[in-house]
Structure 1
């Protein structure tokens, strides 16, 4: 099984967005294909969408680290 493209959609409190991205930086560094960061909505929730190169182990590791907010993973394709 080869490398996959994973879309990660984070919905996190704006005030904690930097801390959460800092935690996962070491894991996703060098795997990022695309990132979109949206400003917070009226409720103070910011959305970060990333396309990463990785597999199931990357998804499991990110789930373990990201505790706050809502996280959605979707496999887009095989590389």
Structure 2
């Protein structure tokens, strides 16, 4: 087995719990769907792989630290 250095990227929506505590289930589901539609393609475009998704959080790995950082920047810009 070959060892590799990987970079981990973890995303999370700031204030998600407080924002969704006053939302309906359908509103929360729609928010999560839109979030996923934005985040996953950016991760994949930058050469990352989603390892896990729980609620509003994504855990992704990248072989390139630079691509992981650029991915984070792209996500921030697209979620504004």
Which stretches in structure 1 are left out of the alignment for 5+ residues?
38-47, 68-79
- TM score, norm. by length of structure 2: 0.54
Give the number of equivalent residue pairs.
Answer: 56
TM-score, structure 1 normalization: 0.55
Unaligned regions of 5+ residues in structure 2, if any? 21-27, 63-67
Higher helix share: 2
Deviates more, 1:54-63 or 1:26-35: 26-35
Query: Which protein, 1 or 2, shows the higher relative CO under an 8 Å CA cutoff with sep ≥ 6?
Result: 1
**Which structure has more strand as a fraction of its residues?**
1
Choose 1 or 2 for highest CA Rg: 2
Deviating 4+ runs (over 2 angstroms): none
